[in-house]
Structure 1
Amino acid sequence: MKTVFAAARLSVLPLAWAAAFPSWAQTPLQEVVVTATRVAQPVSDLVADVTIIDSDAIQRSGAASVADVLARVPGIEISRTGGPGANTSVFLRGAETRFTAVYLDGVRIDSQATGGASWNTIPLAQIDRIEVLRGPASAVYGSDALGGVIQLFTKRGEGGVAPFVGVGLGTYGTRKLNAGVSGASGGLDYSLGFAGERSNGFNSLLVAGANPDDDGYRSQSGNARVGLQIQPGQRLEATALASKMNAQYDDQFGSPTTDDHATSKLRALGLNWSAKWSDVYSTQLAVTDSRDTYATRPSVYDTETRLRGYLFQNEFHFGTHRVTAALERKQDHLVNDPIDSGRHEDALALGYGWQQQAHTLQLNVRHDKDSEFGGHNTGSVAYGYAFTPQWRGTASAGTAFRAPTLYQRFSEYGAASLQPETSHNTELGLRYAAGPDSLGLVAYRNTFSNLISFVGAGPCASPYGCYANTARAQSQGVTVSGGTRLGPVNLQASADFQNPRDLDNGQQLARRARRHATLGADTTLAGWTVGGALQFSSKRFEYDYLGNATVLGGYTLVGLNASTHLAPEWTLLARVDNLANKTYQTANTYASAGRSVYVGVSWAAR
């Protein structure tokens, strides 16, 4: 951790700056989080590094996609091969995109072809809340969570019948329409939503000879969430979401006149029964199912991932002690011609939490037994101490793993000898919270071992090369964040100083910057809520066998947004992204959007 704490010393001056400009990072103490331990807990009881993004923050951001919302969260960077419909990667604390476990209303989302969630297919129009957990969490969630967990939630109905509708127009021929209704009556609550979006896009591939046409997209999505309070302490809930994204792209090796299309589909279904049997004992029983498909035309490529999950969670309260015990089964299946294979994991997870006066302790252990590679144990320990009611220090350590994807295992490049990729993380944190003022400093080091890379000919069927556990990497850094209110102005900021690198050759990991930061401010003026946001990233490097030879230049983006109530039920939203029309790339040879303007009007019954 020597380098980490050296960075921490260099962060003393930014601490004062961050106190004035945080970024979503410090969550109010009255908030409740479920992602950290898989059971609902007040933020004040947590030792984990968590960010909550509620519906108001999502709406105020004026963001175009889930990835754009996450790009403003401390510890997160994104990379995209074009516009919002293009393939998108999310790097949490410098970890690979496949090392973030993603859940939607408790339903696991993943691709067993590429590894990681298909972020471009998750519709922001259906998302009401996002929780981001930084740091390994396999001791709670099992495979995938080497870098952290991101959980998205759709809207839950409450109050009377509340229909809504919204329309919007923007640069690049962008058009949006969304509508829905939510409410609650007696023991029944419901929320239904539908959305459609299309854009003419822009020429995303900057390669000579590639098709120079604009690469647009069309998307449709819908969701339903229905809950029934069977009796006091007994709730049954069903969730369903479906999304389709049809995006144009340019094949680097294709014809300059070919109109290439990629179609992504996401389906997520969940059924959950939660029961509080007494003041001491409560349970949760969940069955989930998701399907992720991706297809390209006219170049033919088809892949489909199907995930099924079963969870039986038990929670015990004994005074200041909380004990959890969970049984979980995961079933994964991949169809990617000629692959038609699956596997399953069975797990036992135990947790213990204790909070008394200034002390907080959280322990978790988990054993996963995989039908392919056998058993794997993970664990985590976290401790927090409140020096004063405002200041709190934390320390934690944890291990995590990701099982090889089914493509890595069963394609012609796969081998039966592949083992899980693993990580070991340690971190220290210091947090301050008093009214509207907050400040946070987290120093971490996450070491990744047994990473799967593509090497020369070996035990697999392909003569061109095989997957093997040969690589190592490490991401260490410091995240500074904070917030305050000066008169009528809310100020926000965060800054990340990190060193994500390959331990074998010392190279900086691809598409990740050593420094990135966000600044933001918003206020109310003459009936308008107005705000501005700044995003900064230092230079990065592209995937390159020559050793970080291709540089992706650093950039600073400025955005503005404003909203007002035209009438009690009518709202006008306007935003400008990339105000300075900055030319930049997050993936080599792929363009990003220039200056963009969007105006939307929404109606919601009150």
Structure 2
Amino acid sequence: MKQQFSSKALTTLLCGTAITFSAATIAQGNSTVSVSNSPNPMNPIIVTATRNPTESKDVLSDFAYIGREEIEQAAQTSLPELLQQQRGIQVSNTGGAGNVSSVYIRGTNNNQSLVLVDGVRVESSALGGPIWNSIPLSSIDHIEIVYGPQSTFYGADAMGGVIQIFTKKGGGPTTLEASAGYGSYGTSITNASASGTIEGANKTSFALGVSQENSLGYNSVASNNGCSPQNPNRTCTFPTTNTGYTRLGANGQISQEWAQGQELGIKFLSSRVNWQYPSDAYFDSAYSGASAPVTNNQVNNLLVASIYSKNQINQFWQSLVQVANSTSSGQNLTGFSNDKIDTPDNSYTWQNNFSIGPDILQLLAERRDQYVNASNSPTGTGGGCGYGGINCAVNQSRTTDSVAASYQLKRGNNLANASIRNDSITNYGSKVTGSVAYGYFFTKQWRANINYGTGFRAPTFNELYYPGSGNPTLAPETNRNLEAGIHHENNVYDLHLVAYQNKIENLIQWQPTSSDPYGLWAPANYGLVQIQGISLGANARLGKFIVKASADSLTAIDQKTNLDLPNRARQVGNLGLEYNHNKIQVGSNITLSGQRYGSPASTSNTQWMAPYALVNLYSSYEFDPQWTVFARWNNMFNSNYQLAYGSNTPGSNVFAGIRYAMK
């Protein structure tokens, strides 16, 4: 019955996408069609796919673009909530906007995709993957998502794709913006920003923004949680109290064009998030020898900073030099321990683009220095690392030196890309990755392409060196991806249909260690995964209506157990409809998802999460040229669903506010 629901849901989305495309085709010849007020520009310039600004029609990698207007209209409180409305992306979450989330691009693991902020890696070297709740939405100008392995351009971890976040930048006359809102679960969000350009002998652009978020949260412990008081088979007990969060953020950029084609700039993003999660009071008290709190607290600080010089050496040669630091530091305070971790990541980049007629040759040299400094200090008589009451520390570092070359060819109706990269990593030697892609324009709007690429993920410091369970003999994960697609783009609508197959070898999985008396697990190169899927997306601007539809079907199977990987639904679809009339805007987003499994694939597919339908509404009204009121109603029908097994999601909730923009 549940599988039938998901199949019907997918069929519905496919039909909706087809209708969208057909309607847009008919409307294309209608002179009354308007592309104003669209949340995303048609045919945007994409940087992430090749590390070089490229018109979207010439980008051979499958991609998605999220503009600032779409971010504001979606009115979500976290980056994962926004991303799960995009095709090819699924999300798991253990307790709301401020809690731990994982993002799966085309079925790959959270730590198998790379996240960049203004070209700088944002990830935890200890855990792998980014701390998603550390990135405030208010600091983001736009987002580019590139699907498929991109290790030939970015090195380790870009196996499933790359998500690049571009923070707000200056340009044009000075502008002041601010917004404030309040909603369900005691959620309040305020932010303010200023940006502009100072004209003169040397043009200087600047942007600065700050934000604050608070939420009392909700009870995240579901009745099927193994520690729920409502579960008769529980082996532990979590409280059913609310778990909230606080997030502070700041971002800024300043750049100066000191001569024509010569630019020097600085960028930064800083955030601090403090969130709560349930505590097993009995367990914590037993190991600490003291009364344990009802909830544990975790704090994460993120700082991303870079200085760059972009120079047009001559009409054929453009150079980019960048020095950057990304540091994620955290503290986890429980009833029996006080864990602290710092993971500084320094990178040095020299990128050179050479124009050869319509083609581009890119040569790249990079260096990356990673560090981890972690400690676990017991707060009572027990606990600590390995439950032995001792202070365990991890202090490690490694260096990666990389060189890469790529060539973008454009000849008549033919497009082609070829790239190769070598990453020399401490203790691993060299990892070579490559990719090739070919595209052909049947008409000015229709293009078919085929892509092949390889990627890898280096083991995290925790996987390698964590006391008592680390495995220093781990090999990097590797993958091979083959895909083919058909794409159509014009000024009214776009359509993307892609089929792909991704094979992942040496998958690192945590397995129980039979020799350990405490039942600890250790990582090993155990898994072999095959992911196959089809992704369909369409966007159209039809007069006063904007339609966005997508449908995804995938299977992500552990080849050794023949079981589904956890937290991946086989069918997912999204349908968005927006209406704009004068100063009024009304829209809705519908998400349909098939069932997914919550237990580790190496164990069993017995813990399943039911399929669900989610309906969100939003609206805004510009009552003054500089003032807009907005509101959203998420989970309109109060659907009971889970994105991580045993964790509740928000019920029906509302949020309303006011926005100011100096014009």
Q: TM-score range by the shorter chain?
A: over 0.9
1:485 lines up with 2:541 in the alignment: yes
1:309 maps to: 347
The one-letter amino acid paired with 1:500 is: A
1:334 maps to: 372
Q: Equivalent of 1:510, from 562, 566, 572? A: 566
SS of corresponding position for 2:564 = coil
CA distance in 2, matches of 1:526, 1:471: 55
TM-score under structure 1 normalisation?
A: 0.94
The one-letter amino acid paired with 1:53 is: I
> Contact 1:188–1:229 (CA<8 Å) still a contact in 2?
yes
Q: Offset at 1:94?
A: 0.3
1:124 lines up with 2:134 in the alignment: no
Q: 1:67-126 deviations in whole A, cap 9, x for unaligned?
A: 111111110011100110000100000000001111101111011222100101111111
Instruction: Give the 3 Å change call, closer, same or farther, for CA 371–94 of structure 1 in structure 2.
Output: same
Q: 1:154-206 deviations in whole A, cap 9, x for unaligned?
A: 11111222122211011111111111211101210000000001011101122
Instruction: Give the 3 Å change call, closer, same or farther, for CA 230–339 of structure 1 in structure 2.
Output: same
Instruction: Give the 3 Å change call, closer, same or farther, for CA 394–11 of structure 1 in structure 2.
Output: farther
Q: 1:239-271 deviations in whole A, cap 9, x for unaligned?
A: 111101111110345578523111111110011
> Contact 1:20–1:482 (CA<8 Å) still a contact in 2?
no
Which sits farther off after the overlay, 305-314 or 210-219? 210-219
CA distance in 2, matches of 1:460, 1:31: 55
CA distance in 2, matches of 1:582, 1:108: 36
CA distance in 2, matches of 1:563, 1:510: 38
Q: Offset at 1:408?
A: 1.0
> Contact 1:29–1:42 (CA<8 Å) still a contact in 2?
no
SS of corresponding position for 1:400 = strand
Instruction: Give the 3 Å change call, closer, same or farther, for CA 213–81 of structure 1 in structure 2.
Output: same
The gaps in structure 1 that reach 5 residues or longer are: 1-7
CA distance in 2, matches of 1:143, 1:21: 42
The one-letter amino acid paired with 2:214 is: R
The one-letter amino acid paired with 2:188 is: R
CA distance in 1, matches of 2:259, 2:304: 27
1:393 maps to: 448
1:193 lines up with 2:209 in the alignment: yes
Map 1:149-168 → 2, pairs under 5 A? 149-168=162-181
What is the number of residues matched between the two proteins? 597
1:296 lines up with 2:351 in the alignment: no
1:554 maps to: 611
Instruction: Give the 3 Å change call, closer, same or farther, for CA 318–311 of structure 1 in structure 2.
Output: same
1:4 maps to: none
1:221 maps to: 249
Q: 1:349-373 deviations in whole A, cap 9, x for unaligned?
A: 1000001211000011000000121
The one-letter amino acid paired with 2:238 is: A
What percentage of aligned pairs have identical amino acids? 31
Q: Offset at 1:20?
A: 6.4
Instruction: Give the 3 Å change call, closer, same or farther, for CA 229–507 of structure 1 in structure 2.
Output: same
CA distance in 1, matches of 2:518, 2:253: 46
Instruction: Give the 3 Å change call, closer, same or farther, for CA 229–470 of structure 1 in structure 2.
Output: same
> Contact 2:14–2:551 (CA<8 Å) still a contact in 1?
no
1:203 maps to: 219
The one-letter amino acid paired with 1:78 is: V
The gaps in structure 2 that reach 5 residues or longer are: 1-9, 25-37, 223-227, 230-236, 286-291, 376-392
The one-letter amino acid paired with 1:467 is: P
TM-score under structure 2 normalisation?
A: 0.87
> Contact 2:78–2:98 (CA<8 Å) still a contact in 1?
no
CA distance in 1, matches of 2:157, 2:345: 13
Map 1:52-451 → 2, pairs under 5 A? 52-186=65-199, 187-206=203-222, 207-208=228-229, 209-252=237-280, 253-254=283-284, 258-299=294-335, 300-337=338-375, 338-412=393-467, 413-451=469-507
Which sits farther off after the overlay, 127-136 or 302-311? 302-311
Which sits farther off after the overlay, 13-22 or 589-598? 13-22
CA distance in 2, matches of 1:21, 1:514: 28
The one-letter amino acid paired with 2:593 is: S
CA distance in 2, matches of 1:20, 1:110: 42
- Could you say what the CA RMSD is over the residues aligned between the two structures, in angstroms? 2.3
CA radius of gyration, larger in: 2
Instruction: Give the 3 Å change call, closer, same or farther, for CA 13–517 of structure 1 in structure 2.
Output: closer
Instruction: Give the 3 Å change call, closer, same or farther, for CA 96–20 of structure 1 in structure 2.
Output: farther
The one-letter amino acid paired with 1:554 is: P
